């Protein structure tokens, strides 16, 4: 017992004290989500209220000849002082975050975060879920405009990425449709009815105290310009027969915290979700390989076989 107390005291000292390590670098304890979330929200609102995007270029009536459909953000100042602010076009969603999601031991639960998004161009197709695969072009930057990542060509991207707010934000946009793909003759292509938007993400839905790269300081809200070309409906990333969206068992819009057998693979990447040695696909299929709905529950305990290590 004494030993356990000693161990936890050492743990507390190491994790929470400000100390100089061997390199002379001062370690700062992680800030609290509940402190950072309102600070980020104030920073983001200030940004949205003092900036605008080239919405007139996207309006058919005022679109310049040969417009390249690039989103440009600038400050509301000088000649542009009278433009419509980003805030006037912004919509938002609230997402609750626990500290353990960020690998922190602060024990904070359900800290509310606001994700802002602006639909710049309504896509002609449907909308993905946060669990789908999407064809996107994107630019990621800090609120001061410093670019940290981009893809100028369309790439396929699985939305359950590390930056949680990104997946939840892209899921608010509509994609284009395949019949509107036009080849440019140089290997690239455009999708004429793609959806376009701006996402502004608080750090608690992004990298928080981790710096995402040398270009992203800790506790940075980040911004993405996204063009959503296409998406795959009911993406099944581990090909186990259960669509990824259904592998969000606790229904919180996040896939990494659902892990029935507590192995190193979250359910959406685990082909044997309950770790009983029988694949999920086998546990939900008949002898001909057809998936049975509702999913079989042999012992009738309310837990389907594929999530129940007692049955298969």
- Interacting residues with Ca ion (CB under 5 A): 238, 240, 248, 250, 252, 254, 257-258, 267, 270, 272-274, 276, 278, 305, 308, 312
Query: Quick count: other Cβ atoms within 10 Å of Cβ 146?
Result: 12
Question: Least distance in Å: CB of 169 to Ca ion?
Answer: 17
Question: Least distance in Å: CB of 160 to Ca ion?
Answer: 10
Question: Least distance in Å: CB of 209 to Ca ion?
Answer: 22
Supply the DSSP string of 84-100, one letter for each residue: PPHHHH-EEEEEEE-GG
Question: Least distance in Å: CB of 275 to Ca ion?
Answer: 7
**For Ca ion, which is the closer residue by CB, 219 or 254?**
254
**For Ca ion, which is the closer residue by CB, 227 or 274?**
274
With contact defined as beta carbons under 8 Å apart, do 124 and 176 qualify?
yes
Question: Least distance in Å: CB of 238 to Ca ion?
Answer: 5
Query: Whole-angstrom Cα distance, residue 221 to residue 204?
Result: 8
Query: Quick count: other Cβ atoms within 10 Å of Cβ 152?
Result: 9
| β pairing state of 222-232 and 26-27 | unpaired
In the Cβ-directed half-sphere of 70, how many Cα atoms lie within 13 Å? 7
Radius of gyration of the chain (CA): 23
**For Ca ion, which is the closer residue by CB, 71 or 131?**
131
List of residues 6+ apart from 252 with CB closer than 8 A: 96
List of residues 6+ apart from 274 with CB closer than 8 A: 260, 261, 280, 306, 307, 308, 309
**For Ca ion, which is the closer residue by CB, 41 or 238?**
238
List of residues 6+ apart from 130 with CB closer than 8 A: 159, 160, 167, 168, 170, 171, 245, 253, 254, 255
**For Ca ion, which is the closer residue by CB, 227 or 276?**
276
**For Ca ion, which is the closer residue by CB, 132 or 305?**
305
Question: Least distance in Å: CB of 192 to Ca ion?
Answer: 35
Token pair 């200030």 is found at 46
What letters, b where the CB count within 10 A reaches 16 and e where it falls short, cover 65-86?
eeeeeebebeeeeeeeeebeeb
Question: Least distance in Å: CB of 89 to Ca ion?
Answer: 30
Among 71, 67, 56, which residue's Cα sits nearest to residue 150?
71
**For Ca ion, which is the closer residue by CB, 40 or 274?**
274
Question: Least distance in Å: CB of 305 to Ca ion?
Answer: 5
Contacts 24+ apart (CB under 8 A), 282-287: 282/312, 283/312, 284/241, 284/242, 285/241
**For Ca ion, which is the closer residue by CB, 139 or 280?**
280
């Amino acid at each position: 017992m004494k030993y356990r107390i000693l161990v936890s005291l050492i743990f507390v000292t190491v994790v929470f004290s400000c100390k100089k390590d061997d390199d002379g670098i001062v370690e700062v304890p992680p800030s609290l989500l509940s402190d950072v979330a309102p600070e980020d929200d104030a920073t983001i609102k200030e940004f949205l209220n003092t900036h605008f995007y080239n919405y007139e270029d996207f309006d058919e009536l005022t679109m310049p000849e040969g417009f390249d459909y690039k989103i440009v953000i600038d400050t509301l100042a000088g000649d542009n002082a009278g433009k419509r602010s980003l805030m006037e076009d912004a919509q938002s969603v609230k997402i609750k975050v626990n500290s353990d999601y960020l690998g922190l031991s602060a024990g904070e639960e359900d800290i509310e975060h606001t994700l802002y998004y602006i639909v710049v161009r309504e896509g002609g197709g449907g909308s993905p879920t946060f669990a789908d695969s999407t064809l996107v072009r994107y630019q990621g930057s800090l609120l001061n405009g410093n670019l940290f990542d981009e893809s100028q060509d369309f790439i396929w991207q699985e939305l359950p990425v590390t930056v949680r707010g990104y997946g939840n934000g892209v899921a608010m946009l509509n994609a284009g449709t395949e019949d509107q793909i036009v080849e440019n003759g140089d290997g690239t292509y455009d999708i004429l009815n793609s959806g376009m938007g701006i996402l502004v993400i608080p750090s608690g839905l992004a990298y928080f105290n981790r710096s995402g790269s040398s270009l992203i300081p800790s506790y940075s809200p980040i911004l993405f310009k996204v063009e959503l070309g296409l998406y795959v409906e009911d993406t099944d990333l581990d090909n186990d027969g259960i669509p990824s969206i259904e592998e969000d068992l606790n229904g919180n819009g996040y896939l990494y915290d659902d892990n029935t057998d507590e192995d190193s693979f979250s359910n959406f990447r685990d082909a044997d979700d309950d770790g009983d040695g029988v694949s999920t696909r086998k546990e939900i299929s008949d002898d001909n390989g057809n998936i049975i709905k509702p999913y079989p529950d042999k012992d009738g305990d309310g837990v389907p076989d594929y999530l129940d290590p007692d049955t298969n």
